[in-house]
Structure 1
Amino acid sequence: MAAVMTQNADTNYLTVKDLRTNTTIRVPIDLKTNTIPGTAFAQLKIKPTVPPADDPNDKVPIRLYDPGFKNTTVCRSKVSCVDGENGKLFYRGYDVEELVEKSNYLEVAFLLVYGELPTADEYQHWADAVMTHTYVHSELEKQMMTFRYDAHPHGMLISTIASLSTFHPEANPALRGLDLYMLPKVAAGQKKTEQEEEKAKDVRAARNRAVFRMFGKVPTIAANVYRHRLGRPYNHPMPNSTNYTENILYMMDKLNEPNYKPDPRLVKILDTMFILLAEHGSNCSTVMMRHLMSSGVDPYTALSGAAGALFGERKATEVIDMLKQIGKVEKIQLFLTKVKRKDSSVGVSPTQRADRPLRLMGFGHRVYRHGDPRVRIAKKMAFQLFDLMGKDHIANLAIALEEAAGADEWFIKRGLHANVDFWTAIVFHTLRFPTDMFPVLMTVPRVAGFVANCWESLDDPEYKIFRPRQIYIGEVIRHYRPTLTRRMTNSMPSLEAQYRGSDPVAAKRRGTADPNTLAEIDDLITRTQDSLEELNQKLVEIETAGPQSPSTDETGLGSRVSTWVSSRFFSNPSGVGLTLQLTERLRQTQAELTNLLSMQRELIMAERQEEEQDHTHLAPVPERRASAKSPKLRSGNSTPRPIATSTPEPSS
């Protein structure tokens, strides 16, 4: 296949020729967006291979294959511009660095959603509307209280956001009509009719209600999941507050102080971080929001799904895990050497697979070639926090690690600079948030970008449901066989493989490391060994005597098994082979149980060693291990963040 680009005053297109069939097509080029339509290649036909064609003349269209959407666009957007070559990020044309300096999160959110910075009156109405919707239904609070004490905060957030659709059924297009949020389509140059104007007015009203609810209720839900993990009652929103981030810190930290007010310096730092995290183009979570909305689902369910994509990234969380894994400043060079050698170490961190090479988490970026523009601001916020709250062991490690990697030619050549996830993790950590709250704190500000992209996708003239193609590479044609004629396969993973693939922390929570459980496993293995020895003895007798009918079985073995098993394994000449196969599987099971017991014992020893190390390490933030009684999180009668009973003067 050959392609030639032609460009003149009248035509801009690629000429693509299939050299096998001499078929030539023209693919138009959109010079405004530097894109070509992928559907144009469907003009080229090819003989299908999987499944094979019944007719030799059958043809199927050629598809574009682009794993991970590395060079595929799915939408046109005016919301944000990620300039990877020049290291810039723009929200609606405004440089994010200028917005951080001169604006606040709530104003930036208005800009992203509605396209322009608000006037004074618009901002006042916007702030009042959002803060009015910060209260959640009392039944929703009761629902949140039913989560386990050690439920992951982000899992609680996702579930509760999805539940909002049940509390507001009038906001569900499935119940009110699929065009609930769709503006009427009017041809260019044509005026809207009175009916269309009325419909557009209703759509804008429905959108605004959804926007106010999402912006207002998500931070309240986030504060509630944080309090839930601490075992504290939920707080109501801050009275008479118009500051978005101040209200969040108030709901998280207020205990019983009558005049409690969050420190404005911390409010400003968190507000700045929210601006940096508000939007970032077509990332995984934002595309998920567009994808779900294309199906006509309600915005709360779509928002829940988009938030779920942030759960899977775990980027900032893994930064802290990596720093804890390094442990000491003296071990940084050793760690970097292992990264360069692509070493893989078993059990180095809870989130690292045993077969995956060590990675320098929080470094490098898929889009930015010369550094993430948000890093400078996030790093500045981190050092301001160090001045306010001090540096702990993790902060010192982070500073030393960035310096060491920044001076290493190997990382410089590959453009592996610290990205925003690295310093975001340090900011959240220094604010004394546990790592399981990091995805929650990233979801709250990203609501702005989600909502902006959501409405933009619905207004797109080329709006269609997302339906990417797939390439089938499985079995061609198979015919069903009855169960009794199927062969035994080893497709099920062994017990040991299942155990190694599970989360050891979750295993501890389930009680598998309990001494009583270990005693039960010991007893089970003993009984399995006795049964195996007895079965082996009977099998020897059967193999010596030859196949026999269950009715003439004097060993008593047939009376302890079903008729089907007895006839299957002991009553036909081929049963001897199957018997040996069964014996081998039993031996394998016994070995797996033995290995499981050994790993459980190692788990207990490792837990005891970790507890002993916890008393010697300098770590202001306690380790987040679940206990049978209560979560080992921050507790006590005071907030871990500075408290200001009255508003202090801003620091110079």
Structure 2
Amino acid sequence: MSDDLKKGLEGVLVAESELSSIDGDAGRLIYRGYAIEELARGTSYEEALYLLWNGYLPTEDELEPFADALMNEREVDDTVLETMEKLAAADERPMAALRTAVSMFSAFEPESDADPEDLDATLRQGRRITAKIPTALAAFERYRIGEEPVDPHPDLGLAANFLYMLTGEEPDDVAAETFDQALILHADHGLNASTFTSMVIGSTMADIYSAVTGGICALSGPLHGGANQDVMEVLMEIDESNLDPLDWVEQATDEGRRIPGFGHRVYNVKDPRAKILQERSEELAAEGDSKWYDITSTIEEYLTEEKGLVDKGIAPNVDFYSGSVYYQLGIPIDMYTPIFAMSRVGGWIAHVLEYQDDNRLIRPRARYVGSEDQGFVPLEER
């Protein structure tokens, strides 16, 4: 057993997976052998889920019942909606509200007594969680703005339906396709912190509700899931400053501020997901206000070409463009990380199922560096 200390488990292999692979030097991401560019431009989020959960892309005959099953499980119990209303009134954070909602879903799980080793039952439970998260999130946001929740639309896919429940209006094709694509791009990304958290919980054979709730908790931390919100807040700060974006960035870097959305633990070049979302941001800009796209593209060009960050292995990550894309879709800024969870739940479930299929309790160890020979003194003598 090695005594080498690897802070943050940097470079430590803990599992084998067929789900996703990242080549940080080439800027390549694949799901089960398929390039993310092909999946994002040629499939739906439902197809990506099917791929992650079943190992292959579905035929039309396989996709239809799968998508129907997701649609049929979108409704959440009134008790959950009532709780979302109370949390909205209490000004709870959206990620905390989502954590509560998923934990509550288990109370209404029809297969709650299923054997933990019945992975088919676990997958069905995971499908219910995935179907219900958009409904709970949209209801929470509606309550926050003083409106009643919108019932799920019977004819819309998961992405378009979320936008519909959020606004009460059916999204146009560009908005629906853009959001669907964003969900595909965020569905899985190796053993990131939230995915690993879900796997650790799953390795104890806890139920999938516990594993997903744990993933949400890990994703809520600002070092993992909040960068897209940070990016949008910076863009708004730039806009409100009335400064030229380049002047603002120059001033910020001189002050030692970090520009969010640049740099990644794995990628040394531009994140392939950022390239795709940049295209969508440009399309949305062409249909409306181009301000946000103009600012982001200007900053990227300046930092990569003028400042040479790419030469230092620092390039735009997925968050650099997802923030402005979500804003252009009319999504509130503090809902960005919950939307990340709404997508990534597909990957969490897939990794838990894959690991449980050949399960071993995840149990690392720590090196003890404390005292060895403390002399004990009874309480009355201390």
Say yes or no: TM over 0.5.
yes
- Partner AA of 2:152 in structure 1: P
**Among 159, 163, 168, the residue aligned to 2:100:** 159
Question: In the alignment, is residue 94 of structure 1 matched against residue 53 of structure 2?
Answer: no
The offset of 1:110, in angstroms, is 0.3
TM-score relative to the length of structure 2: 0.91
Q: Deviations over 1:319-350 (max 9, x none)?
A: 123334443443634644653x6x4xxxxxxx
Question: In the alignment, is residue 111 of structure 1 matched against residue 9 of structure 2?
Answer: no
Q: Which has the higher helix share?
A: 2
Q: Please give the residue correspondences for 1:304-315 in structure 2 after superposition, counting only pairs within 5 Å.
A: 304-312=213-221, 313=224, 314-315=226-227
**Among 323, 330, 351, the residue aligned to 2:235:** 323
**Among 263, 270, 273, the residue aligned to 2:172:** 263
User: Alignment RMSD, CA only?
Assistant: 2.1
Q: Answer with 316-325 or 131-140: which moved more.
A: 316-325
1:435 equivalent in structure 2: 333
1:413 equivalent in structure 2: 311
Q: 1:82 to 1:331 in 2, by over 3 A?
A: closer
In the alignment, is the contact (CA less than 8 A) between 1:218 and 1:444 conserved in 2? yes
Q: Deviations over 1:423-445 (max 9, x none)?
A: 01111122222221010111111
The offset of 1:209, in angstroms, is 2.2
2:194 equivalent in structure 1: 285
**Among 327, 348, 362, the residue aligned to 1:466:** 362
In the alignment, is the contact (CA less than 8 A) between 2:95 and 2:337 conserved in 1? yes
Q: Deviations over 1:283-322 (max 9, x none)?
A: 1111111011112211012101101222112111111233
TM-score relative to the length of structure 1: 0.55
- Partner AA of 2:55 in structure 1: G
Q: 1:404 to 1:160 in 2, by over 3 A?
A: same
1:247 equivalent in structure 2: 161
Q: Deviations over 1:213-268 (max 9, x none)?
A: 022111111211221221211111112x15121111111111xxxxx532122101
Q: Deviations over 1:127-147 (max 9, x none)?
A: 111110001112221222221
1:577 equivalent in structure 2: none
Distance 1:464 1:374 in 2: 33
Distance 1:325 1:318 in 2: 10
- Partner AA of 1:134 in structure 2: R
**Among 356, 359, 370, the residue aligned to 2:258:** 359
The structure whose Rg is larger is 1
Distance 2:148 2:108 in 1: 22
Distance 2:128 2:245 in 1: 48
Q: Deviations over 1:376-406 (max 9, x none)?
A: 11100111111223134x5443232112112
2:63 equivalent in structure 1: 123
Secondary structure of 1:418's aligned partner: coil
Distance 1:129 1:338 in 2: 49
Q: Deviations over 1:544-594 (max 9, x none)?
A: xxxxxxxxxxxxxxxxxxxxxxxxxxxxxxxxxxxxxxxxxxxxxxxxxxx
Question: In the alignment, is residue 212 of structure 1 matched against residue 108 of structure 2?
Answer: no
In the alignment, is the contact (CA less than 8 A) between 1:278 and 1:449 conserved in 2? yes
Distance 1:229 1:478 in 2: 57
- Partner AA of 1:101 in structure 2: R
Q: Please give the residue correspondences for 1:635-646 in structure 2 after superposition, counting only pairs within 5 Å.
A: none
1:228 equivalent in structure 2: 143
Question: In the alignment, is residue 453 of structure 1 matched against residue 351 of structure 2?
Answer: yes
- Partner AA of 1:253 in structure 2: T
- Partner AA of 1:122 in structure 2: E
Larger RCO of the pair (alpha carbons < 8 Å, separation 6+): 2
- Partner AA of 2:102 in structure 1: I
Distance 2:59 2:38 in 1: 18
In the alignment, is the contact (CA less than 8 A) between 2:123 and 2:349 conserved in 1? no
In the alignment, is the contact (CA less than 8 A) between 2:116 and 2:207 conserved in 1? no
Distance 1:263 1:298 in 2: 38
Query: How high is the sequence identity, in percent, across the aligned residues?
Result: 30
Distance 1:140 1:411 in 2: 46
Give the total of aligned pairs: 375
Name structure 1 gaps, 5 residues minimum. Answer: 1-38, 42-62, 183-202, 255-259, 344-356, 486-652
1:132 equivalent in structure 2: 72
Q: 1:231 to 1:475 in 2, by over 3 A?
A: farther
Q: Deviations over 1:191-212 (max 9, x none)?
A: xxxxxxxxxxxx2541342132
Distance 1:432 1:237 in 2: 18
Question: In the alignment, is residue 303 of structure 1 matched against residue 212 of structure 2?
Answer: yes
Q: 1:68 to 1:252 in 2, by over 3 A?
A: same
2:109 equivalent in structure 1: 168
In the alignment, is the contact (CA less than 8 A) between 1:374 and 1:420 conserved in 2? yes
Q: 1:227 to 1:402 in 2, by over 3 A?
A: same
Distance 2:296 2:377 in 1: 58
- Runs of 4+ in structure 1 deviating by more than 6 angstroms, as ranges, are none
Q: 1:73 to 1:324 in 2, by over 3 A?
A: same
**Among 270, 273, 278, the residue aligned to 1:371:** 270
The offset of 1:95, in angstroms, is 0.7
In the alignment, is the contact (CA less than 8 A) between 2:122 and 2:208 conserved in 1? no
Distance 2:275 2:313 in 1: 16
Distance 1:377 1:205 in 2: 34
The offset of 1:71, in angstroms, is 1.1
The offset of 1:122, in angstroms, is 1.1
